[in-house]
Amino acid sequence: MWMYGRAAGRVFVYWFGATPDVCVADLGVAKQVLADRTGLFPKHRINANLMRLLGEGLVMANGDDWQRHKRVVHPAFNIDKLKMMTATMADCALAMVSAWEARLEAEQGKGNGKREEVEIELSAQFEELTADVISHTAFGSSYREGKQVFEALKELQFITFSTLFDVQIPMFRYVPTRKNRRVWRLDREVRATLMRIIDTRLAAKDKEGYGNDLLGLMLEACLSAPERDGDRRQLLLSMDEIVDECKTFFFAGQETTSHLLTWAMFLLSTHPDWQDKLRDEVVRECGGRRVPTHDMLNKLKMANVCSSSIMSCVSEPQMNLFLLETLRLYSPVPLIRRWTRSPVRLGDITVPEDTLVTIPIATIHRDREVWGDDAGEFRPERFDGGGKSLSALLAFSMGPRACIGQNFAMVETKVTVAAILQRFRLALPPEYVHAPTDVITLRPKYGLPMIISSVIEA
């Protein structure tokens, strides 16, 4: 039975068929859900297509399975690994911006007397860039080798979103409808491609070992864990679990960072004063055209996301403030969904078990009671000094289930933004249409065309 209290419009109930859903738009109540360590709010796993998209890896696992996956995956994101990954990220970003420079040089070669500039569709460029980065750093392969996985997952993402808010009819997932048959085929393609990547790694094991990337660490845990009483089940991942973890990181490791970069470029182009501020800071700390290194990024005093949450950061540099404000206004993941394992009190409402709980990040991030009357405005200085603003940022979630890859995403974003600002100025073309749209992640509906021109060096 529902017990209604003083909901005040921020915690309310709505329904999908026979399933109740509690929308938690109150920051304090949202923190109660996300900070829970008892397993009272497990991940929502009712949509079969979402499970195929993300797999039963770290993002969707619950309870003991989640603890086991975290023990295996967490070492891939420690500070030493991140330092090594930074060089790979920089190489991938340099390859992208070098291609842009080549296009500008081609325009210059035409000798038409106009200022050299080209228009580039950035959202597509960033999809390829982040796919290349996650392929190299997590799986030791290139974007070309993982392209089939990314293309299949992208199509599966749009199918999943089209069914995300459907009433879930038991057993309907097994009916051979046209959509279901397509989902099954995409799932088979992804699994087959991932198994080929895994088999290639296993074949090279005797010469090169399993490797130090995410895939290598998982294979090491799966195949080389010591036989000790009671320990083996706790330490190992099965081959199916490794495949699911690969799916998780192919999608989550690429998709969210791609859109963070896209929205960062949009805000830089619409706020040229901040574009100049960040360029000055990058040139001062990283040099005019040098490839950014991990040590250079540390000089920019990157947000301390190595801890359990991004909220621990207190910093003044402009790059940090800018990216935090980008995450607030355009969080790549616009909502979080959980499930109640047993009856629980949320604010002034008693919620029964087996109830969906939805936390609308986009709504909370623009709540005037949390952020002030300028909540809808771009104002990065609100994060200067940390404090209350940082504690209200939910872009990477928070608590024990905070995104394990948040450090990775922030470093990759900083490397790419720095490489771009060292070389180019950005401006939106007149035909740009601003239409953020939610397809599990927040993306520009019509892409992000951008006019780029060379930075004139003194």
Binding-site residue ranges for heme: 403
Of 303, 308, 332, residue with least CA distance to 403: 308
Q: Residues 197, 187: contact at Cβ < 8 Å?
A: no
Per residue, the 3-state secondary structure of 62-114, as one string, reads: CHHHHHHHHHHHHHHHCHHHHHHHHHHHHHHHHHHHHHHHHHHHHHHHCCCCC
Whether 127 and 447 have beta carbons less than 8 Å apart is answered as no
3-state secondary structure of 456: coil
Residue the block writes with tokens 């996301």:
305
* Beta-bridge mates of residue 109: none
Token digits of residue 443: 């993306």
Helix (H, G, I), strand (E, B) or coil at 356: strand
Q: And the tokens for 51? A: 């499970």
Output the DSSP codes for 204-259: THHHH-S-SSHHHHHHHHHHS----TTTHHHH---HHHHHHHHHHHHHHHHHHHHH
Looking from the CA of 251 toward its CB, the CA atoms found within 13 Å total 27
DSSP 8-state assignment for residue 332: S
**Could you give the C-alpha distances from 143 to 58, 140, 162, in angstroms and in order?**
23, 10, 27
Neighbouring C-beta atoms of residue 64, cutoff 10 Å: 11
Residue 118 is inside which H or E element, if any? Answer: strand 117-121
> Six-digit token pair at 410?
């922030």
Distance, CA of 245 to CA of 251 (rounded, Å) = 10
- Interatomic CA distance for residues 181 and 52, integer angstroms: 13
Please give the structure tokens belonging to residue 317: 């540099």
Q: Which residue has the tokens 């859900």?
A: 33
Backbone angles phi, psi at 75, to 5 degrees: -60, -20
Phi and psi (nearest 5°) for 352? Answer: -75, 170
Upper half-sphere CA count for residue 4 (Cβ side, 13 Å): 6
Residue 398 has phi, psi (to 5 degrees) of -165, 170
Amino acid at 193: T
